[in-house]
Amino acid sequence: MITIDTEVLSLRSTKIVLVVGALVICGLAFANYQQYGAMADARRWLIDEEKEVEEAEAQLKSRLDLAEREEAMEKALQSMERMVPPRPGESEIISDIQSWADDAGIGFISIRFADRIDDEQYVQMPLELSFEGHYTDMLDLTRYLIEADRAFRIEELRMGSAQGSPPVLSISVRCSVFFATDE
């Protein structure tokens, strides 16, 4: 008959249990380490994704802002295109100045077009205008020039006594208007 020494068996089973327990603990520690590393990677990925979402939101907001400003920008462009039209329009200039002079109550005497000055994007047309009238009428005419749909740049405004009546002034205005080049 075989006899089993229970002490040896008990010592052996204790060693096996300890080794298996140690292996289980090591396995759990390794799994925990792997899980911690995966969680750290996931946090970094989440932070990167949040940054990308913030950047996308900023781009979207910027584009929405541009879309909202598009109408205002379109109106401003149309206004500027009226201020610097694609053609000289000398007859329109003369007609407008005559109309403004009439509205201001000032006498329109003459207009003289000087040589044009070419620039890259526009052409400047210097003008010399002569009027006769009162000081307040000249102020009204100046306001019409400044508020015109077309760009007028007043370079010089001279006043002197007109021949004959002392309250009437002789007014000379040197200014420029512009039109776009064909580019």
Tens digits of residue pLDDT in 118-133: 887 888 889 999 999 8
Give me the pLDDT at residue 57, please. 92
**What are the residue ranges spanned by the domains of the chain?**
1-83, 90-180
Contact 118, 158 (CB under 8 A): no
Give me the pLDDT at residue 129, please. 92
Residue 68, pLDDT > 70, answer: yes
Which residues, in sequence order, are bridge partners of residue 161? 169
For residue 59, name the pLDDT band (cuts at 50, 70, 90): very high
Residue 56, pLDDT > 80, answer: yes
* Dihedral Cα 48, 52, 54, 56, nearest 10 deg: 180
Average of per-residue pLDDT across 3-25 = 75
Q: Which amino acid is at 163?
A: Q
Residue 79, pLDDT > 80, answer: no
Give me the pLDDT at residue 126, please. 93
To which CATH superfamily is domain 90-180 assigned? Ribosomal protein S6/Translation elongation factor EF1B (3.30.70.60)
